[in-house]
Structure 1
Amino acid sequence: MTPARRGASSVLRYVALIAGALVMVTPFVYMLSTSFQPQAYVLSLPPQLIPNPATIDNYTRALTTEDFALYFVNSIIVTAISTFFSVLISSMMAFAFARFQFRFKETIFRVLLAGLTIPAIMLLIPQFVLAKNLGILDSLGGLIVFYVAGSLSFNTFLLRGFLASMPGELDQAMQVDGASAWTRYARLALPLARPALATATIFTFLNGWDEYPIALTLISDPGSRTLPLAIATFQGQNATQWGLVFAASLIAVVPVIVIFLVFQRQFVQGLTAGAVKG
């Protein structure tokens, strides 16, 4: 390929990347702009990407009305606890599937994966009936139970593949030294699986933080609502207060950004680097 063609190819790639970035960023920019606009200017044509006049009234109302702070705390509690237990339990299951041999191992794993093929919307009625029979309707604990159960299949699948690729010599060396299965899990598997654990943590947190159908089905008590339910209450019967909705949505994005910033370094850490650095 001639230098001119290579240059033209590079230009086309950059143009495509910039166009893709604009497509992805524009809705967020519009949401950010709308959150600072009074309701009267939200649907103005042409759309104003720079609010004029600008106001923080939408953020003030979002934080001080409809028990928004309570719903925010509820979401933090539910998502943090369900993420912790989901990653913990799935990492144990993945370690067992990756490192142990037992009867019906592959059958059990395939049954577990079968849960990924079932649309979540089909489980709403069974989940409601189960929650009612267990007496966990209208409770944050009930949401935690179903959030953990709903994420185990994917997390186990993700972590099992990563743990199965670990050098077997490391595991065998610890067995020779008399290390138990729990010791190998805690001191070998978990440190080496940090990139996969970070990925599972981010996915599980996002799914729990943004989850709406299950919360809407199981929660009717205003005191147990989560953040997606709170944002839905800002939509009136006759008109939606888009500035208020977007302001609340941007506030809800903050924990997601924090979680990503905390775990992003793990994405670039490979298995070999983890084994060498210990």
Structure 2
Amino acid sequence: MVTRLNFLGVIGKIFIWTFLLGLVVIVVYPLLWMILNGFKENAELFDNPLAFPLDWSWANYAKAWNRGVSNYLMTSVLVTVTSTIATVFISAWAAYGLTRVNIPFNRTVVTLILGGLMLAPAVALVPLVKMFQTLGLYNTFWALLILYTAFRIPFTTFLIRAYMIDLPREIDEAAEVDGSSRWSTFWRIILPMCKPIIVSTVILHILFSWNEYLFAMVFTSGTGVQTLPVGLTSLMSKHGTDYPVVFAGMVIAAIPVVLLFFFGQRYFIKGLADGIGK
């Protein structure tokens, strides 16, 4: 009986390791293929797309950078940073009010906020375009900032609120006894205690805004306000595309997000586990 259990355990471990190695190949191989092809020439790419580059030249990366990727990168950074700060701050303040302040119709307000999760962005495109054109915000940086913030507040509030619910109220009472205002309590005590979920929501919002394509395509048309997902498509031409340059641009676009997730993964996983699991 013991031998049989050991045999089943070994088979189970082999299956798990095989499955995990398969996932690694599925995830890592396309990234490596994209990186390697960024060093090739167009003819070399089509001749043997699976081979290593014959000449490890950074020329394609320089071409991609000079063809507008530098401008698209700066725009994406600006939109991502500002919308992340606005979304996380507003959501954290809203979550604090919903969990720490006895406001009328608290459950109704929570329901309305969570109702925003059911609103598909594509459904609101036509009225939003008309509204932004009327307000003079169409094809501006502010359009993307408002959209990215508004559509992410419900989900971000939901996560931070779930985390704040289990924070002991005695902390607020002790701070109030010491003469701390609500703003001071939120900023100096509650917010630092929510660091794991704050980092998680920051990473999630950065992933969303960095890779978002629909709003960026519909609400921007000038090169000065286009983000990386839309800008990279301009590197492609119906008359002939230099694909290694496109791959090089995609690698440049992926590097910041990969580094962010790599350095913030510990807080990201902990924050989601504590927030969603409650």
1:60 to 59, 62, 65: 62
- Normalising by structure 1, we get a TM-score of 0.90
C-alpha distance after superposition, 1:144-194 (max 9, x if no partner): 111111111110001000011112222222223332211221122111100
The residue number in structure 1 matching 2:39 is 36
The 3 A distance-change label for structure 1 pair 98 and 44 is: farther
The more displaced of 99-108 and 152-161 is: 99-108
Alpha-carbon distance between aligned partners in 2 of 1:22 and 1:114, rounded to the nearest angstrom? 38
- Whichever residue aligns with residue 203 of structure 2, its letter is I
Equivalent runs, 1:1-278 vs 2, <5 Å: 2-45=5-48, 47-65=49-67, 67-267=68-268
- Normalising by structure 2, we get a TM-score of 0.90
The more displaced of 102-111 and 52-61 is: 52-61
Give 1:247 deviation, angstroms. Answer: 0.7
Alpha-carbon distance between aligned partners in 2 of 1:231 and 1:61, rounded to the nearest angstrom? 12
Q: Which runs of 5+ in 1 are unaligned?
A: 272-278
Q: Which runs of 5+ in 2 are unaligned?
A: 273-278
C-alpha distance after superposition, 1:96-140 (max 9, x if no partner): 111112112111211111111122211222221121121111211
Describe the SS at the equivalent of 1:42.
helix
Q: How many residues align?
A: 269
Taking only aligned residues, the RMSD between alpha carbons, in angstroms, comes to 1.9
The more displaced of 16-25 and 173-182 is: 173-182
Alpha-carbon distance between aligned partners in 1 of 2:59 and 2:257, rounded to the nearest angstrom? 23
Alpha-carbon distance between aligned partners in 2 of 1:263 and 1:173, rounded to the nearest angstrom? 32
Describe the SS at the equivalent of 2:215.
helix
Alpha-carbon distance between aligned partners in 1 of 2:242 and 2:106, rounded to the nearest angstrom? 53
Give 1:70 deviation, angstroms. Answer: 1.6
Question: Is the contact made by 1:116 and 1:153 (CA closer than 8 Å) also made in structure 2?
Answer: yes
The residue number in structure 2 matching 1:276 is none
Question: Is the contact made by 1:202 and 1:259 (CA closer than 8 Å) also made in structure 2?
Answer: yes
The 3 A distance-change label for structure 1 pair 27 and 125 is: same
Alpha-carbon distance between aligned partners in 1 of 2:222 and 2:29, rounded to the nearest angstrom? 37
- Whichever residue aligns with residue 58 of structure 1, its letter is N
Question: Is the contact made by 1:112 and 1:153 (CA closer than 8 Å) also made in structure 2?
Answer: yes
- Whichever residue aligns with residue 251 of structure 1, its letter is I
